[in-house]
Amino acid sequence: MGSRSIWLVGIPQRKGKKLIHYEDDELNNAADMRKFLNEYNNFIQQTSILLDYVGYRHQRKIRPQSRDKISQLPKSIHIDLTKKKMKRVFNNNSFAQGGRFYNGFWMEMPSALRLRLIIDMQKVIEADYSGIHIHLLYNQIGIDYGAKMEDPYAVPGYKETKEHRNLFKKLLLAAINAEGDGKSTGETKAIRALLKHIKYNRADYPDEIPKLRTVLEDFKEYHKPISGFLCTAKGMFLMCQDSQIAELVMKSMLARGVTVLPVHDSFVCPKQYSDTLLDVMTWAYQQVTGKQLTATKFTVNIKEPDEWDRSDGNELLPDDDYYFDPNYSEDESLIVKMYRIEMDELEQLSKGDIVSHLDVSPNKTYINIPIEYITS
């Protein structure tokens, strides 16, 4: 068949990334993948996805530094709500590496802000596979790690803090992507990659960074059954697996007419479909891996938008899952778009008791949220 362009990304040595051409055939399944992606993108374009950003403050902790350096940091988070069309990126000239979905505006937002999305009038939840690459590696040797009911990043001998957990998580990601060459070992490459990330995100890590080579050895000991997979450039193959799982989740939810927004190994969907999403995520995992995924708190997590209760203690105006009450907003265009309320009905409502505390965000397409930097 004829040559077609795809977001299939090769990484030539020292030359950066470039698009390449490919041939549709039964082995790479490219035609089917492209057909589904176009179908899903069309579905997303017809879905109302808004953002309730009023009252949200984005704070970022940084280490003390000069005013000149602080002045060079980003001033705000720019969000383009029209950026809905996704693409898939495969790597290293292979349909067996990479394949994750990219480009949706929700993928570029802080996780707390994603929980303020409004999909078709309803609040959302985000469900994710916790430590999915660790689970996938264990599955390759026939072990259901979920049955252990353990946090894969709670390595013995270290403090159980968010910063330490993040250290182990990022170290794992670096280790599964690293591979030795004639100049450096895989371990050295993984440590260098993590040090670079720590440099630009210092506040996300412990105040005192332990010796990373020791940390890596302790991690290998904690996960001894899969230690042989680390530093063998396994990451792109695991991404391919989690992208296949994501595609199945999206296909299954689309068949139900339910919008889900993928963020690699997590999914945002309307709150009323959270149970369905969890069932589908477990099923999709089993379809791709052929292994049982135990339903424990360390395998599938749900994040709910409980931290932004809009009721403010008002019993007459509870914080419901749906945005059905125009009293939540002064923005008439937002009300008309979300609830299709006729203007004459809106005028009738305005004659009643209108709550003075109005919080739903204005109906904007392009949003800039200031970043507040806090030194620690």
The DSSP string of 155-213 is: -TTS---HHHHHHHHHHHHHHHH-B--SSS-HHHHHHHHHHHHHHHSGGGS-SSPPPHH
Which residue's entry shows tokens 């705000």? Answer: 76
* Structure confidence by residue, pLDDT tens digits, 305-357: 555 555 566 555 556 665 544 455 556 665 555 554 344 444 555 655 443 43
Whether pLDDT at 176 is above 80: yes
**List of E strands, 53-183:** 58-62, 76-80, 87-91, 98-102, 117-119, 124-129
Q: Looking at per-residue confidence, does 294 or 337 come out higher?
A: 294
Q: How far apart are CA 284 and CA 280, in angstroms?
A: 6
- pLDDT for 272 equals 83
% the chain with pLDDT above 90: 27
Whether pLDDT at 42 is above 90: yes
* Structure confidence by residue, pLDDT tens digits, 60-69: 777 777 677 7
Average pLDDT, stretch 73-99? 89
* pLDDT, averaged across the chain: 79
Q: Which stretch of 5-9, 32-36, 214-218, 241-245 has the lowest confidence by average pLDDT?
A: 5-9
- pLDDT for 3 equals 37
Full-model pTM: 0.80
Q: How confident is the model at residue 295 (pLDDT cuts 50, 70, 90)?
A: low
DSSP one-letter string for 30-62? HHHHHHHHHHHHHHHHTS-EEE--TT--EEEEE
Whether pLDDT at 23 is above 60: yes
- pLDDT for 374 equals 80
Q: How far apart are CA 284 and CA 64, in angstroms?
A: 45
- pLDDT for 142 equals 87
Those residues with Cβ within 8 angstroms of residue 5's Cβ, 6 or more apart along the chain or in another chain:
19, 21
Amino acid in the structure at residue 245 = I
Which helix or strand (DSSP H or E) is residue 301 part of?
strand 300-303
Q: How confident is the model at residue 10 (pLDDT cuts 50, 70, 90)?
A: very low
Structure tokens at 258: 């339910």
- pLDDT for 27 equals 58
- 366-375 and 58-62 beta bridge pairing: parallel
Whether pLDDT at 281 is above 80: yes
Q: Which stretch of 50-59, 126-135, 293-302 has the lowest confidence by average pLDDT?
A: 293-302
Whether pLDDT at 155 is above 90: no
Q: Which stretch of 76-85, 87-96, 290-299, 328-337 has the lowest confidence by average pLDDT?
A: 328-337
* Structure confidence by residue, pLDDT tens digits, 189-226: 999 989 988 887 887 888 899 999 999 999 999 999 99
Whether pLDDT at 36 is above 80: yes
- pLDDT for 6 equals 43
Q: How far apart are CA 212 and CA 48, in angstroms?
A: 45
* Structure confidence by residue, pLDDT tens digits, 92-107: 888 888 899 999 999 9
Q: Looking at per-residue confidence, does 226 or 3 come out higher?
A: 226
Average pLDDT, stretch 162-184? 87
User: What's the helix, strand, coil split of the chain in %, to 5?
Assistant: 40, 20, 40
- pLDDT for 316 equals 55
Q: How far apart are CA 185 and CA 298, in angstroms?
A: 32
Residue 319's nearest CA partner among 106, 55, 127, 126 is 55
